[in-house]
Structure 1
Amino acid sequence: ALEKKIVKSKVGEKVSLPCCHEIPSSESLRKYRVYWQKNITDVVLAYSEGNMISKHKRYWNRTEMDPWNLTLWISPMEILDNGSYQCVVQRNSVVVCDESVILYVTADFSKPHITAEVSTDSCESTEMVITCSSHGGFPKPKISGTLNNISMEWNASWVSESSLSPYNVTGKLVLNITKDVNITCSVEYSGSVKSTSLFLRKTNDCTVPPVPPPYNVITASIIIVTTFIVAITLAARYLPRHVCSHCCKCQDSVEEGVKEYTKAPTSSKGTAETSSV
């Protein structure tokens, strides 16, 4: 079996789906029947003897066919255009070719948006709820990320009305931040990637207050200080009196010595006079 052709396009673009047969210049479309079908059951458009005989309502004003190479043009592309298309060509009721082509339609996601909300905060760490969201894309994406260039996984959730509708994707993460970090969120789909980054700074760098001493230590310190002050006060009050009392005793002794010395010459003179008689 021949490998199916694959065509990729984006929502809003114009795409061409090739057919398996080209009409020679010596002939015309009038000699052929051409059917473009989707998923085998839906006829996109059909030509017979050079005239269009059928066209699906979804493709009104959005499709046309080249009359020579039978290429099918679709514009603008929609997500619902995803699927397998088949070109069937007949000449004189004989099948000339029958070949399929697969059309993949993608829709770009918005640039991821990252938010950070503080749940708890302390001097040691900050707990944050990180949310990354993107919307409006197709097909269902994969969300990934890095934390300081190290891979991490998001708790992802997707919302879409159907399997052929745009997707909204949201990823959440709870982090205990102890230092500055850089977070990257990436949304991957059909070979395309949309990414964004957010730098988070550790904000609460507070100093832990010192632990106050126990009550008994404070009480003992107060008693020691009080005793010391009382001792100094008593010393200042009674020590000068003791010194003065000692000084008075010394002065009395000196005065008595002087008096005895003064009396001594008189006694000597009397003795001398007696001896001479």
Structure 2
Amino acid sequence: MQQACTTVLVPFVCSSTGCAQEKKVVKSKVGEEVSLPCCYKIPSSESLQNYRVYWQMNITDVVLAYSGGKKIDEHLRYVNRTKLDFENLTLWISGVEILDSGTYQCVVQSLQSSPDKPGSHFLCVELVTLFVTADFSKPSIEREVTASSCESTEMVVRCSSHGGFPKPKIYGVLNNVSVVLNTTWESESSLSPYNVTGTLWLNVTKDLNFTCFAEYDGFLRSTSLLLAKANDCIVSSALPSYNVITASSIIIITFLLAVILAAKYLPRHACSHCSKNQASAGEDAKEIMSTPHSCKVTCEMSTL
């Protein structure tokens, strides 16, 4: 039993034996110009005036349509971005966006009657899937040291990339050994650019080479960073604290004051001591000199 294809919204290729479905895949990047092939080429002896051509997206939205050689419909989102090749009916889309991703249909009808096919009739339907990608930024690696000792350094390593499509895979390689990252994604919708971040907790006992990869639709971007172990065993050469400087200054000032006071009062005390010694010596001398005189008087009195 033959299946009749009577609507431009049905994704079938119809022939005398029935309807068959065929799908092609076209890939492009954001901002590029892409061509979507159709299933029919107009003979050189004819023109577009003899045909009706519909390019539709996701079956329901007409992107561009011609009938009898004239444009009869165009989607607002594709205005000034699409054009039709009048020979092979290829649809060209410029300034491709992520939202352009989806399944497109090229439906071709003949407007000419023939003895076996009176009136307009279907010629073919082509299904084309457009897949648009957007490049991710080069991964950025940041590390945060959470604890450190002579033996090891604990750190959190974060690798992030943004602005790409489709949803990426992010992973790391640590000294040529693959490691799994705790990954989070951010996107406004399923057809919006993604931001991705991978997190890794490490206890580093020696310097390590870390490489982060962002993979999406066969593309790969990477960045490397040396994770150096912190050396906290070296004696710190930092300047003394404010309290130490203050205490040292007080000690020095006190010492200088002591020296000044000693220099001022010690000579005076020494002179006073010398005067007392001189007075004592004078009295002793007088006493010695007076002793013979007394003896002389005593002796004379004894003689008498």
- TM-score normalised to structure 2 length: 0.67
How far apart are 1:25 and its partner, in Å?
A: 0.5
Structure 1 partner of 2:182:
155
Structure 1 partner of 2:260:
none
User: Residues 75-86 of structure 1 correspond to what in structure 2 (within 5 A)?
Assistant: 75-86=94-105
How far apart are 1:2 and its partner, in Å?
A: 5.0
The answer to whether the aligner puts 1:103 opposite 2:130 as a matched pair is: yes
How far apart are 1:3 and its partner, in Å?
A: 4.3
- Structure 2 Cα separation of the partners of residues 61 and 128 of structure 1: 52
Structure 2 partner of 1:169:
196
The answer to whether the aligner puts 1:129 opposite 2:121 as a matched pair is: no
Runs of 5+ consecutive residues of structure 1 not aligned to the other structure:
209-277
Change (3 A) 1:149 1:3: farther
Match of 1:60 among 50, 71, 79: 79
Match of 1:48 among 56, 63, 67: 67
- Structure 2 Cα separation of the partners of residues 46 and 4 of structure 1: 20
Q: How many residues align?
A: 208
Structure 1 partner of 2:219:
192
- Equivalent residue letter for 2:132: V
Structure 1 partner of 2:14:
none
Structure 2 partner of 1:261:
none
How far apart are 1:124 and its partner, in Å?
A: 1.0
Structure 2 partner of 1:69:
88
The answer to whether the aligner puts 1:183 opposite 2:183 as a matched pair is: no
- Equivalent residue letter for 1:152: V
- Structure 1 Cα separation of the partners of residues 180 and 231 of structure 2: 26
Structure 2 partner of 1:226:
none
- Structure 1 Cα separation of the partners of residues 46 and 90 of structure 2: 17
- Structure 1 Cα separation of the partners of residues 135 and 107 of structure 2: 32
- Equivalent residue letter for 1:201: A
Structure 2 partner of 1:22:
41
User: Residues 115-264 of structure 1 correspond to what in structure 2 (within 5 A)?
Assistant: 115-204=142-231, 206=233
- Equivalent residue letter for 2:36: L
- Equivalent residue letter for 1:123: C
Q: Percent identity?
A: 69
1:136 alignment partner, SS class: strand
- Structure 1 Cα separation of the partners of residues 130 and 188 of structure 2: 21
How far apart are 1:203 and its partner, in Å?
A: 2.2
- Structure 1 Cα separation of the partners of residues 60 and 176 of structure 2: 49
Instruction: Indicate the RMSD between aligned Cα atoms, in angstroms.
Output: 1.3
- Structure 2 Cα separation of the partners of residues 207 and 71 of structure 1: 71
1:30 alignment partner, SS class: helix
Q: Is the 8 A contact 2:211 2:224 kept in 1?
A: yes
Match of 2:108 among 84, 89, 96: 89
- Structure 2 Cα separation of the partners of residues 172 and 200 of structure 1: 14
Deviations 1:212-269 (A, max 9, x none): xxxxxxxxxxxxxxxxxxxxxxxxxxxxxxxxxxxxxxxxxxxxxxxxxxxxxxxxxx
How far apart are 1:207 and its partner, in Å?
A: 7.3
Q: Is the 8 A contact 2:145 2:154 kept in 1?
A: yes
Moved over 3 A (4+): none
- Structure 1 Cα separation of the partners of residues 161 and 228 of structure 2: 24
* Rg larger in structure: 1
Runs of 5+ consecutive residues of structure 2 not aligned to the other structure:
1-19, 112-119, 236-304
Q: Is the 8 A contact 2:148 2:232 kept in 1?
A: no
How far apart are 1:145 and its partner, in Å?
A: 1.1
- Equivalent residue letter for 2:142: T
- Structure 2 Cα separation of the partners of residues 41 and 207 of structure 1: 71
Match of 1:6 among 10, 25, 41: 25
